[in-house]
């Protein structure tokens, strides 16, 4: 109710307003500032997400544009294209690197094992890439490619 005792009624537009980057940002800023029904409010001590603002805005845009009623809008094109998230294996590797980068954890056997496996994986990827490059006809015979040569059956 307003001060006059009458309920204030907002006019609801006949057609939905277009979603624009600016409207998404304004809506997100208001939600962060005042909280939302699902997130609680700042006064209740709810910790806001620690992801960068741009990532949160992009996630919100993707969420809004996932609605079939909005998906065809031109403003949703940027949110519905692009690769969503890295594969699960990459997320796990990134998380492992982050954990083992902490000096308090670096000396743990699990981190030593993780880093050794990752180092071996990177070395194998580099070897495979070197072999791929050196297998091209224009590079055969380069001295730098000798280290990438496949061992022959006679050498083993």
The domains of the chain are located at 21-80, 88-148
Please provide the average confidence, as pLDDT, over all residues in the chain: 69
pLDDT, average across residues 121-146? 82
Cα separation of the two ends of the chain: 87
pLDDT, average across residues 116-142? 81
Reply yes or no on whether the pLDDT at 3 is more than 70: no
Tokens of 51: 């992801």
Reply yes or no on whether the pLDDT at 28 is more than 60: no
pLDDT band with cut points at 50, 70 and 90 for residue 32:
very low
The residue count of the chain comes to: 156
Tokens of 78: 């940027």
As a whole number of angstroms, the distance between CA 61 and CA 28 comes to 10
As a whole number of angstroms, the distance between CA 72 and CA 66 comes to 10
Q: Which residue has the higher pLDDT, 68 or 11?
A: 68
How buried is 60 (Cβ within 10 angstroms: 0-12 exposed, 13-18 middle, 19+ buried)?
middle
Contacts of 59 (CB under 8 A, 6+ apart): 51
pLDDT at 34: 47
Q: Which residues pair with 127 in a beta bridge?
A: none
pLDDT tens-digit series, residues 81-111: 654 556 666 777 788 888 888 888 888 888 8
Helix-strand-coil split of the chain, %, nearest 5: 60, 0, 40
pLDDT band with cut points at 50, 70 and 90 for residue 122:
confident
Q: From residue 90, how far is each of 10, 40, 87, 93 by CA, in Å?
A: 47, 32, 5, 5
């Amino acid at each position: 109710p307003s001060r006059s005792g009458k309920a204030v009624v907002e006019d609801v537009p006949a057609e939905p307003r277009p979603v624009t980057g600016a409207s998404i940002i304004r809506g997100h800023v208001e939600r962060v500032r005042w909280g939302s029904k699902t997130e609680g409010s700042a006064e209740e001590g709810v910790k806001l997400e620690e992801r960068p603002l741009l990532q949160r805005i992009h996630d919100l845009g993707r969420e809004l544009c996932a609605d079939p009623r909005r998906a065809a809008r031109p403003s949703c094109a940027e949110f519905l294209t692009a690769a969503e998230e890295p594969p699960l294996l990459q997320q796990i590797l990134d998380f492992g690197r982050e954990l083992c980068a902490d000096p308090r954890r670096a000396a743990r056997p699990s981190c030593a094992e993780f880093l050794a496996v990752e180092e071996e994986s990177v070395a194998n990827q580099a070897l495979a890439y070197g072999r791929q490059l050196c297998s091209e006809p224009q590079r055969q015979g380069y001295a730098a490619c000798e280290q990438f040569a496949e061992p022959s059956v006679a050498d083993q």
